[in-house]
């Protein structure tokens, strides 16, 4: 059985298409668990309609209090999942009919590779960037926010490469998630970080979903090479403070998992946390030496400038 965790909030415009794409999966051993985050539009009525029509597939979480963020909503959803495999689902995308099946096959192959069968594993796929009408957007793939995928722990400390709606985790990975903490930058980033530290992260290059961009996304695909994007980032004061959030998330990781981290990962984490105590030239040198870098040259230059 695969649990698909769907976090909804004011999604009446697109959520029917997404639910239909989940119900049309070729892998029939699925359960869709939905938690609405206090929607004020017609989302709740749509969800109830689908639950009544597909009671064997759809479960609505009774708690409809607002959590205030997608990260917290998804972390709350994890508490209701009991299956061996878990996927995360946004309300406005459309999944390929083979998505669950193909990812499950790859996940189970990875589990067979593990010697003890109890390793946390995360598998994630690619996506096609589309507009509100599901038409492909003219964004070059090498210009996307994540044009290259790095799975290593040092890279994940400063940038997330795993989009939540593309990922599947096994039960071991789910059990390690813990309670939500405001220091978690996003649920997908947090999960990718601790799985990379203690288990295996696997990238599947196949595009298995349409990633819809419509102007109201909490997080989305961005053309990071555009001048508009670069100027916006240079003017954004939050960017200059982002390093503090990276360190805060790393501190949380250290607090929760120190005893479980392999020695080399513990060493990498400790060296990263030391960087904030150094003078700026030494910080820049340590970031480069430790490989704590962003995915492309322009973003790395910005990182070193603000750090």
In sequence order, what DSSP letters do the residues of 238-264 get, joined into one string?
A: HHHHHHHHHHHHHHHHHHHHGGGS-HH
Q: Please, which pLDDT band fits residue 23 given cuts at 50, 70 and 90?
A: very high
N-to-C CA span, the chain: 45
> Is residue 145 within 8 Å of 172, Cβ to Cβ?
no
| 168-197 mean pLDDT | 97
> Is residue 94 within 8 Å of 17, Cβ to Cβ?
yes
What are the Cα distances from residue 119, in Å, to 111, 112, 116, 179? Answer: 8, 10, 7, 20
Q: What is the per-residue pLDDT for 230?
A: 54
Cβ contacts of residue 289 below 8 Å, gap of 6+? none
Q: What is the per-residue pLDDT for 303?
A: 79
Of the ranges 191-200, 213-222, 292-301, which one carries the lowest mean pLDDT score? 213-222
> Is residue 249 within 8 Å of 193, Cβ to Cβ?
yes
**Helix or strand run (H / E) with residue 278:** none
Q: Scanning the structure block, which residue is given the tokens 């990498």? A: 268
Of the ranges 44-48, 220-224, 277-281, which one carries the lowest mean pLDDT score? 220-224
Percent of the chain whose pLDDT exceeds 70 = 86
Is the model's pLDDT at 297 over the cut of 80? no
Is the model's pLDDT at 241 over the cut of 60? yes
Q: Please, which pLDDT band fits residue 149 given cuts at 50, 70 and 90?
A: confident
Two structure tokens written together for 71: 């990260």
| Residue 179 burial (CB count, 10 A) | 10
How confident is the prediction for the chain on average, in pLDDT? 89
| 235-257 mean pLDDT | 83
Cβ contacts of residue 73 below 8 Å, gap of 6+? 7, 9, 35, 37, 67
Q: What is the per-residue pLDDT for 138?
A: 84
Q: Scanning the structure block, which residue is given the tokens 């910080």? A: 283
> Is residue 173 within 8 Å of 198, Cβ to Cβ?
no
Q: What is the per-residue pLDDT for 100?
A: 98
User: Helix, strand, or coil here: 179?
Assistant: coil
| 88-106 mean pLDDT | 98
| 19-35 mean pLDDT | 98
User: Is pTM, for the whole model, over 0.75?
Assistant: yes
Q: What is the per-residue pLDDT for 296?
A: 74
């Amino acid at each position: 059985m695969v649990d698909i965790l769907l976090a909804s909030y004011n999604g009446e415009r697109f959520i029917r298409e997404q639910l239909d794409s989940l119900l049309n999966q070729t892998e029939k051993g699925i359960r869709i668990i939905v938690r609405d985050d206090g929607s004020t539009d017609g989302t709740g009525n749509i969800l109830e309609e689908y639950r009544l029509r597909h009671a064997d597939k759809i479960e609505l979480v009774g708690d409809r209090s607002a959590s205030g963020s997608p990260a917290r909503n998804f972390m709350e959803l994890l508490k209701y999942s009991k299956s061996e495999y878990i996927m995360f689902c946004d309300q406005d995308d459309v999944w390929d009919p083979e998505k669950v099946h193909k990812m499950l096959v790859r996940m189970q192959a990875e589990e067979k590779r593990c010697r003890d069968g109890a390793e946390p594993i995360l598998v994630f796929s690619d996506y096609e960037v589309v507009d509100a009408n599901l038409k492909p957007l003219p964004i070059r793939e090498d210009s996307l926010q994540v044009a290259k995928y790095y799975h290593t722990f040092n890279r994940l400390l400063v940038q997330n490469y795993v989009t939540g709606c593309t990922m599947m985790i096994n039960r071991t990975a789910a059990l390690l998630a813990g309670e939500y903490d405001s220091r978690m930058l996003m649920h997908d980033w947090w999960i990718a970080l601790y799985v990379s530290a203690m288990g295996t992260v696997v990238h599947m290059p196949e595009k298995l979903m349409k990633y819809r961009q419509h102007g109201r996304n909490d997080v989305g695909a961005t053309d990071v090479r555009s001048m508009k994007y670069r100027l916006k980032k240079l003017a954004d004061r939050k960017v200059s403070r982002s390093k503090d959030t990276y360190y805060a998330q790393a501190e949380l990781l250290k607090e929760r998992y120190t005893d479980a981290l392999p020695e080399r990962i513990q060493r990498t984490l400790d060296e990263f946390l030391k960087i904030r105590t150094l003078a700026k030239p030494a910080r820049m040198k340590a970031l480069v030496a430790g490989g704590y870098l962003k995915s492309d040259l322009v973003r790395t230059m910005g990182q070193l400038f603000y750090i």
